[in-house]
Amino acid sequence: MRARRLSIELRKLRETHGLTIDQVVERSGGDFGTSAISRWEKGERRIRPTDLRVLLDIYGVDEAKREVLLTLAREARQRGWWHTYGTAIPPWFQFFLGLESGAKQVRTYESELVPGLLQTADYYRAFLSAAPAVADEQEIARKIEVREQRQARLTGSDPLELWAILNEATIMREVGGVDGMRAQLHHIAQMADLPNVTVQVLPFRAGAHPAMDGSFSLLEFPEPTDPSVAYQENQAGSLYIEQEPQVRRYTVMYQRLVAKALDPDDSRDRIVEVADHL
């Protein structure tokens, strides 16, 4: 999140001064090239404090803001908690964990799978065991630990706000056996009682809806300068959508899903009903 915020600020500073990347390179005296600046502004490379000072001199940044940005650069080079889990977290998912750790709200629509933030260990284990390349028990245990670390934010001192819309297939598909699925459904109902968690079920009878082509999430952040991100995931990787028109499109999609889904109370009743009939 710090790296992303810094990249946004760098791009904004350059555009505010009406400079192209080539002009910044020229004013730097050749200290760095166009590709470096482009990657700094896209968040693809961490900028060193020494290079940042050169940019801040070019942009004429005052001392107060200068110190804020230099602090961001130093802190952005620190590793997050997830780095200790190594191969248990694929590289493409590490960026998501960084975003999620700094988000104030996550809104997610799931068509088939219970959202990771609401999964029990047994449900997640059963899902991992069904994957084409099944990990060994040690790897699965580490992946479950990562899930539990993420879930801790829902009940912490500064809890993450979660709004989850579940396609009815999500609660109807038996994963991990009858007992495991029953426990999973009761866990969702229990988490839905938290003031920062909202769960809705999108029933089959709702018919056609705008997210029939797949699951997605929207992440929102506490800082006004941090724009929202739309996120999609699959077995091979992920897609991050940050352009404002596209993010707005996903936001409208989510609003329409909210309108089509059962209200939170009816959704909780439906989840418990399915659990009791397993």
113-147 per-position pLDDT tens digit: 999 999 999 999 999 888 776 668 888 899 999 99
pLDDT at 114: 98
What is the mean predicted confidence (pLDDT) over 105-118?
Answer: 97
116 contact partners, CB below 8 Å, separation of at least 6: 124, 147, 150, 151
pLDDT band at 201 (very low <50, low <70, confident <90, very high): very high
155-192 per-position pLDDT tens digit: 988 999 999 999 999 999 999 999 999 999 999 999 99
β-strand partners of 165: 109, 200
1-30 per-position pLDDT tens digit: 677 777 777 888 888 888 888 888 888 887
pLDDT band at 246 (very low <50, low <70, confident <90, very high): very high
Is 205 a residue whose pLDDT tops 90? yes
Task: Take residue 10 and report the two structure tokens written for it.
Answer: 């760098």
pLDDT band at 78 (very low <50, low <70, confident <90, very high): low
129 contact partners, CB below 8 Å, separation of at least 6: 140
251 contact partners, CB below 8 Å, separation of at least 6: 218, 228
pLDDT at 224: 75
pLDDT at 134: 65
Of the listed ranges 45-54, 100-109, 198-207, 254-263, the least confidently predicted one is 45-54
Instruction: Quote the CA–CA distance of 73 and 3 in Å, as a whole number.
Output: 7
